Chains A and B, each alone.
Chain A
């Protein structure tokens, strides 16, 4: 019941929710690589970004804050970069506090699998590995809503 209302809640802000098993992610990351399958049991905030996307710049500090607050409760943040040139992503990251996983997918295949409709675009994946909600864009108004959604999912087992 809560999850359904959660989906509707986030969907109403103009997002496109792909409910169901989260498509596999196996990509190179800053520290080696990331495999979504290995994160089952955790709540994953999966974010797609690019260096040339302005609101993405605003979402990074918030994602770092979430990871700091809820990491010990089982939150994992995975930010997938879609820049076609790795150098652009690196320059962007140099100015950011990054305490979460940053992966790289220049081909955009993972975004394609998730049916990403805009950037930044994020998906909340529950401990069961299913997509529970998705969200497009990022501004101040969204922070509280997204954080509330994360807390709800963390409470599940």
Chain B
């Protein structure tokens, strides 16, 4: 038992045990409960790196009203795969602006490194109780980066039953996103063109809207066990394509069909995804106390109308050690490919309506192992740090040797400091 960390350990017995950040649960005495954190993410092989400082503040306004605010700055650097697989020949690509050129050496997976991104995201949530057993949480969120803006609202209703052993929740959210790619929206399935020869662009911006529903139940099973089950439904409409991703057209030898295209056209077509997507997920979580330690396990089954299904397993075991704790974590994720995912297109074959070579839509597995250490500095503050390794491995099936999708390996380190102010 951590006697020292009183304020942080306080939970409201009569409070819902659902989807409320613990910081909010423990807010008291008209003080702000503040969480500061930073993330370092770094991929090997000149991949993406991210530096993401963030702050969260929560306050009990009295009478059961809660407000929480969050601000996150996301600084991204590095190179990202453009969708084309490696080849045994040198490959040449044009940057999104249409004026620059970049290359992929033989055997090298093409990556566009002209991509730099800083994103700022902010959100505020206001919890308003109706009575002792029910409340609504209203949220507003937005983010901006140089080629993408997002604005959204949400409302989640929570109702307790059964001496507060059961909490039912129902949530709804709307998001509107504007995509303003560098160089303008490309014409889907058109050719990428050599630098300086003009671009195949629809031009300008495009938008997408996302509507999400969630239904959930949190249930206390015993003095030491809590379970949660959520069903979510999401519908996206509009521009769902990645404006920077291309698909390679290969000849009968499996090489980019450069000579088949003339007038500055390169053997790479801009991808095209469907203009709507419906996603579903069933999420289960169990939190189990064992003497001093805690196991937190979750499983999510996901399926959508793009043919993607996935299974996510996440297990954390918290070992209490005096004023601190050690928490190993393992996450295992398996995904099936989207219907329109291809490794490449064959020259002469009929063009599909929708196609993408983005490896994130492929059949793949992500495995993450991490270890976190947390320590209570005083009654009201805690310092924590977590370090982990992530490996993403794509199952290409039968593809030409030398064009396999390489693994993505990344180091993830995040640290946090929380306190009352």
Whether A14 contacts B133 by the Cβ 8 Å rule is yes
What 8 A-B pairs are tightest by C-beta distance, nearest first?
A: A14-B132, A118-B14, A54-B12, A119-B13, A54-B10, A53-B13, A140-B62, A139-B63
Report the contact-size class of chain B (Cβ under 8 Å from the partner): 20 to 34
Contacting pair A136 B1 (CB below 8 A) = no
Q: How far is the CA of A114 from the CA of B268 in the complex (A)?
A: 76
Contact of A52 with B163 at beta-carbon distance under 8 Å, contacts A58-B28, A88-B3, A91-B3 already known: no
- A125: chain B residues within 8 A (beta carbon): none
With A14-B131, A54-B28 as known contacts, state yes or no: A137 contacts B14, CB within 8 Å. Answer: yes
Q: Could you show 9 A-B contacts with beta carbons less than 8 Å apart?
A: A14-B133, A52-B9, A52-B11, A57-B10, A58-B29, A118-B13, A119-B14, A137-B132, A140-B62
Shortest Cβ gap from A122 to chain B (Å):
13
Q: Which residues of A contact B (CB under 8 A)?
A: 13-14, 50-55, 57-58, 85, 87-88, 91-92, 117-119, 136-137, 139-141
B164 within 8 A of A: yes
Q: Given A57-B10, A118-B14, A140–B63 Cβ distance below 8 Å?
A: yes
B378 on the A face (CB < 8 A): no
**Dominant secondary structure of chain B at its interface with chain A:** loop
**A53 partner residues in chain B, CB cutoff 8 A:** 10-14
Report chain A residues within 8 Å CB of B11: 52-54
Bound Cα distance from A85 to B3, whole angstroms: 11
- Cα-based distance from A14 to B383 in the complex (angstroms): 39
Bound CA–CA A55/B164 (angstroms): 15
Residues of B within 8 A of A92 (CB): 6
Distance, CA A49 to CA B12, complexed state (A): 11
Beyond A85-B1, A117-B163, whether A52 also contacts B132 by CB under 8 A is: no
A152 to chain B, nearest CB (A): 23
Closest-by-CB residue of A relative to B6 is: A91
With A118-B14, A139-B62, A140-B63 given, name 6 new contacts (CB 8 A). Answer: A50-B13, A52-B9, A52-B11, A54-B15, A87-B3, A119-B14
Given contacts A91-B6, A118-B164, contact A141 B13 (CB under 8 A): no
Smallest CB–CB gap between A64 and chain B, Å?
16
Complex CA–CA separation, A54 to B11 (angstroms): 6
Select from chain B the residue with minimum beta-carbon distance to A118: B14
Set of chain B residues within 8 Å of A88, measured between Cβ atoms: 1, 3
Q: How far is the CA of A57 from the CA of B3 in the complex (A)?
A: 16
The interface of chain B, by Cβ under 8 A from chain A, is 1, 3, 6, 9-15, 25-26, 28-29, 62-64, 131-133, 163-164
Q: Identify the closest chain B residue to A139 (Cβ).
A: B63
**Is A13's CB under 8 angstroms from B132's CB?**
yes
CA A137 – CA B164 in complex, angstroms?
12
Q: Are B1 and A52 in contact (CB under 8 A)?
A: no
Q: Cα distance A119–B62 when bound, in Å? A: 17
Q: Which residue of A lies closest to B60 (CB)?
A: A54
Chain A residues whose C-beta falls within 8 Å of the C-beta of B131 in the assembled complex: 14
Complex Cα gap A85–B292 (Å)? 14
A contact residues around B12 at 8 Å (CB):
53-55
Q: Which residue of B lies closest to A140 (CB)?
A: B62
Residue on A nearest B28 in the bound complex, by CB: A54
Q: Which residue of chain A has the shortest Cβ distance to B131 in the bound complex?
A: A14
With A14-B131, A117-B163 in contact, do A136 and B13 touch (Cβ < 8 Å)? no
What is the bound-complex CA distance between A140 and B132, given in angstroms?
14
Chain A residues near B15: list those with CB within 8 A: 54
Complex Cα distance A141/B28, Å?
15
Chain A hits for B13, CB < 8 A: 50, 52-53, 118-119
| B132 near A141: Cβ-Cβ < 8 Å | no
Residues of chain A with a CB closer than 8 A to B3's CB: 87-88, 91
Query: Which A residues lie within 8 Å of B28 (CB)?
Result: 54, 57-58
CA distance A50 to B14 in the complex (A): 12
Q: Give the residue among B12, B25, B63, B164 with the most A Cβ atoms within 10 A.
A: B12
Task: Chain B residues near A91: list those with CB within 8 A.
Answer: 3, 6
Q: Which residues of the partner chain B approach A118 to less than 8 Å between Cβ atoms?
A: 13-14, 132, 163-164
Q: A52 to B131, alpha carbons, bound, how many Å?
A: 22
When C-beta atoms are compared, the residue in chain A nearest to B163 turns out to be A117
Query: Please, which residues of chain B bring their CB within 8 A of the CB of A85?
Result: 1
Query: What residue of chain A has the Cβ atom nearest to residue B14's Cβ?
Result: A118
Q: Nearest-CB distance from A137 to chain B (Å)?
A: 6
A139 touches B14 (CB 8 A): no
Most buried by A among B15, B64, B132, B133: B132
Please name the residue on chain A nearest to B65 by beta carbon: A139
Instruction: Looking at the assembled complex, report how far the CB atom of A61 sits from the nearest CB atom of chain B, in whole angstroms.
Output: 10
A51 vs B10: C-alpha distance in the bound complex, in angstroms?
8
B14 near A136: Cβ-Cβ < 8 Å:
yes
Tell which of B10, B63, B163 has the most Cβ of chain A within 10 Å.
B10
* Chain B neighbourhood of A87, CB < 8 A: 3
Smallest CB–CB gap between A134 and chain B, Å?
13
> Considering the chains assembled together, what is the distance between the CA atoms of A140 and B10 in angstroms?
19
